[in-house]
């Protein structure tokens, strides 16, 4: 993977997931529109920051998902 920024279209696509419940990998699929699945994250690298907690290393090519403290609902999506 290059060190270029996360493409804008990728970022906008995943920002549509904000407010939805993130289902971890290897979990049963739930097709309800309120749920999204980690296995459907098609961009790498990415990380999931539980409760907004993240290291301070900035990587413009990394897609970040911040979830609530229960690691369920996506609160924000950003590059870095």
Residues 6+ apart with CB under 8 A from 8: none
Q: What percent of the chain has pLDDT over 90?
A: 66
Q: Note the pLDDT of residue 18.
A: 98
Q: Note the pLDDT of residue 74.
A: 97
**CA separation for the pair 8, 61 (Å, rounded):** 11
Instruction: Give the dihedral sign, CA 16/18/24/28.
Output: negative
Per-residue pLDDT for 35 more than 60? yes
Per-residue pLDDT for 67 more than 60? yes
pTM of the model: 0.85
Q: Do the Cβ atoms of 24 and 74 come closer than 8 Å?
A: no
Structural domains in the chain? 8-79 (3.30.10.10)
Q: Note the pLDDT of residue 1.
A: 45
- Mean pLDDT, rounded, for 25-36: 89
Strand, coil or helix: 61? coil
If one compares 36 and 27, the residue with the highest pLDDT of the two is: 36
């Amino acid at each position: 993977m290059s060190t270029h920024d996360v493409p804008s279209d990728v970022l906008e696509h995943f920002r549509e997931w904000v407010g939805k419940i993130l289902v971890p990998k290897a979990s049963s699929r739930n097709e309800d529109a309120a749920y999204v699945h980690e296995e459907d994250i098609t961009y790498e690298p990415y990380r999931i920051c539980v409760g907004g907690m993240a290291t301070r290393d900035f990587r413009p090519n990394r897609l970040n998902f911040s979830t609530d403290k229960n690691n369920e609902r996506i609160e924000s999506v950003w590059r870095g």
